[in-house]
Amino acid sequence: MTDTTAGGLTRRGLLGAFAATFVTAAPTYANAAGFLRGAGDIRRLRMYSGRTGEKIDMIYWIEGEYISESLKQINYFMRDWRTNDVKSIDARTVDIMTAAHNLMDCSEPYMLVSGYRSPKTNAMLRARSSGVAKNSRHLRGEAADLHLNSRSVNQMARAAQACRAGGVGRYSGSSFVHMDCGPVRTWGS
């Protein structure tokens, strides 16, 4: 096993950089495969839903392994609350959410505005708003819209962008940030 990543950094140097910033999720998946496979970290997700009143506070990753039962609970928590449809949430999105939360050094749990959306729900929301994508990543279980009372939309978006691992949308008028595991891109104000 080599101790050097494709970018020329040593594994030890990469781990040190992550430890220094308290990031628990890899900032890019393509360059951090070695880090993800044996980092020895613990990843924890804390959220509540204003729609259902449910709360989640769980460790979903220990010592380089996702905990399947925890991911199932996250899938259920992030379900389409309008239809009760459940879809597997892409673990990369959960990692991005967790990393951004840790970068903000915030103890407040996220408020989940939207997780998985069924096609029926997405169509209904599209009919009401021009800001809802026809092929939204929410339909694939690859996105979350999140809010924090203690952080501004800009602070949340900057933290998510620092992960350089997916899409980040600012929705200042509605006070939430969209985070997804698709291509790196940004939009909104």
Half-sphere exposure of residue 182: CA atoms within 13 angstroms, side-chain side = 18
Widest CA span in the chain: 54
Facing residues of 58 across strands?
45
Q: Structure pTM?
A: 0.78
d(CA 189, CA 184) in angstroms, rounded, equals: 17
User: Mean per-residue pLDDT for 27-34?
Assistant: 36
Q: In terms of Cα–Cα distance, which of 103, 126, 104 is closest to 114?
A: 126
pLDDT, mean of residues 156-179: 95
Orientation of helix 91-103 relative to helix 68-77, angle to 10°? 80
Burial 106-115, CB ≥16 within 10 A → b, else e: beebbbbbbb
pLDDT score recorded for residue 14 = 35
Task: Identify the band that residue 15 occupies on the pLDDT scale cut at 50, 70 and 90.
Answer: very low
- Identify each DSSP E strand in 84-163 by its residue range: 110-114, 143-147
pLDDT tens across 59-103, in order?
999 988 999 999 999 999 999 999 999 999 999 999 999 999 999
Q: Residue 40 has what pLDDT? A: 54
35 and 26 in contact (C-beta within 8 Å)? yes
Bridge partner list, 167: 185
Domains of the chain in start order, with CATH, are: 11-188 (3.30.1380.10)
- Separation between Cα atoms, residue 26 and residue 189, nearest integer Å: 26
Given the structure tokens 């209904």, which residue do they identify?
Answer: 124
Q: Is the pLDDT of residue 30 over 60?
A: no
